Amino acid sequence: LRDRLLCALLEPISLVGGAARPGSAASVVGTAGLGKTTLAARLALDVRVQSAFHDGVFWLRFGQERSALDVLRELAGMIGVDGNQLRDQRAAVDVIGQKLSGQCCLLVLDDIWTYEQARPFLKLQTGRLTTTRLREVATRVGALQEMLPLEPSQAQRLLAACMQVSDDLSTDSDARKLVHLSGGLPVVLEQWGATCRNQSIGSFLDELKRARGQQSVVEVEASGDYEYDSFFAGLEVQLLRLEQSDAQLLSCYSMLAVLREDTQMPLSVAALLWGVDELSAAGIARKLEGQSLLKRTKGRGESSISLLDLHLQYLRSRSRNSLGRWHVALLNNGCPATIPTKKGYWRDKQCLMHHLQGAGEG
């Protein structure tokens, strides 16, 4: 599915880049869990896109918690401008516009929630690729491309791949039922496939049914036609099993509820949060990644970890009574004396404000 969606989106993006027309843009819209960010990442790394936008492809994360000015300052830092000196959107757009003048660049605006977040970036003479859950936003920021759920046959193949089996699941009634409950969302199938590697699909369905009757409701904004109760129930099944097999690993995972939305945490910072050394932190991250519970990103320096929005939302709800003390622990153990730092996790003052607010609520 991802390859087919990549092909469907790559042609217009490549043509935009090839023509090098200022301000040309595309937007990807779809509900949570379809893989919009994954698709955008594959596009950004595609050699044809890299060639078309040869002066730079800049990845900018938004989410509900970041303002346009926050992200403009981040972009400024990427192009060698001190973002902390930019006091308002107009100044930021002027400085960035001058810096990028005459260059062929692509801005990837990932997880936009409001038109106000995107509007300043429309003034920059760059290509743009936007991802969002909201059709009313997508139509205003670029040529719309809609992502749809997987067809049943595609979903069955993805489920089998995530279970690491070569079986044809089309004749398995339990697999068909699980695919139906997934709504054809890749993130759900990946999660459930990882869970079913060590048990039958039928037994997982039984656990899923019990969990759905016991868990509290977690609301997902802009969720479209899909009800995420089954996804969260499946996640709870996985976490309860993790509690039985490795309670310390579950504790470390739960602490990631302190993350700011759409933010990568360097492993060195995660180590301080977890109270372990960096080598141990790397091992914890690998185990959690192996269960499709987080994403590891290898940068030029150290690796970072991040959570899907759905995972973060559920962890915040599940661990709400412990969030305050975890924020306090991170501030006490990991926050440098001088903020912002020149680089790293604490270079963004908003990270500090996020953890201070979380500590205050605790």
pLDDT in tens, 326-350: 999 999 988 887 776 777 888 777 8
Return mean pLDDT, the chain.
88
CA–CA separation, 362 vs 356, rounded Å?
Answer: 10
Model's pTM, two decimal places?
0.84
Q: Tally Cβ neighbours within 10 Å of residue 136.
A: 11
Residue 8 is given by DSSP the state: H
Q: Which residue do the tokens 């003034």 mark?
A: 123
Size of the chain in residues: 362
Give the CATH number for residue 238.
Answer: 1.10.8
Structure tokens, 315: 């962890």
In the prediction, which pLDDT does 254 show? 98
Structure tokens, 275: 């109270």
* Same domain flag for 112 and 156: no
* Same domain flag for 29 and 134: yes
In the prediction, which pLDDT does 82 show? 87
Contact between 96 and 82 (Cβ < 8 Å): no
Order of strands across the sheet with 295-298?
265-266, 303-306, 295-298
* Same domain flag for 306 and 235: no
User: Is the pLDDT score of 137 beyond 90?
Assistant: yes
User: Is the pLDDT score of 2 beyond 50?
Assistant: no
User: Is the pLDDT score of 13 beyond 70?
Assistant: no
CA–CA separation, 140 vs 113, rounded Å?
Answer: 12
Residue 174 burial by CB count (10 A; 0-12/13-18/19+): exposed, middle or buried? middle
Of the pLDDT bands very low, low, confident and very high (cuts 50, 70, 90), residue 23 is: low
Mean pLDDT, residues 228-236 taken together: 92
Share of the chain above pLDDT 70, in %: 90
State the Cα torsion 326-265-354-218 to the nearest 10°: -70
Q: Which residue do the tokens 């205003």 mark?
A: 140
* Same domain flag for 239 and 263: no
* Same domain flag for 240 and 251: no
* Same domain flag for 82 and 159: no
Give the CATH number for residue 280.
Answer: 1.10.10.10
Structure tokens, 173: 């009634």
Q: Which residue blocks in the chain are alpha helix, DSSP H? A: 2-19, 36-45, 47-52, 68-78, 89-100, 115-122, 135-141, 152-163, 173-182, 186-195, 201-214, 229-245, 247-255, 267-274, 278-290, 309-318, 323-334, 349-361
Q: How far is CA 106 from CA 43, 54, 89, 130, 325, in A?
A: 11, 9, 20, 10, 40
User: Is the pLDDT score of 261 beyond 60?
Assistant: yes
Phi, psi at residue 320, to the nearest 5°?
A: -55, -30
Which of 218, 245, 272 terminates a domain? The answer is: 245
In the prediction, which pLDDT does 145 show? 87
In the prediction, which pLDDT does 49 show? 84
Of the pLDDT bands very low, low, confident and very high (cuts 50, 70, 90), residue 193 is: very high
Which of 115, 146, 177 terminates a domain? The answer is: 146
Contact between 281 and 296 (Cβ < 8 Å): no
* Same domain flag for 263 and 355: yes
Mean pLDDT, residues 201-210 taken together: 94
User: Is the pLDDT score of 18 beyond 50?
Assistant: no
Q: Give the contacts of 310 (CB within 8 A, at least 6 positions apart).
A: 32, 33, 187, 220, 228, 231, 232
Which of 223, 245, 267 terminates a domain? The answer is: 245
In the prediction, which pLDDT does 4 show? 41
CA–CA separation, 275 vs 148, rounded Å?
Answer: 42
* Full domain range(s) for residue 264: 247-361
Q: Give the contacts of 113 (CB within 8 A, at least 6 positions apart).
A: 62, 63, 64, 132, 133, 134, 137
Task: Give tens-digit pLDDT for 36-78.
Answer: 999 899 888 988 888 888 899 999 999 998 999 999 999 999 9
* Same domain flag for 58 and 71: yes
Domain count, the chain: 3
DSSP helix/strand/coil, 28: strand
Give the CATH number for residue 71.
Answer: 3.40.50.300
The CA angle 183-231-62, to the nearest 5 degrees, is 90
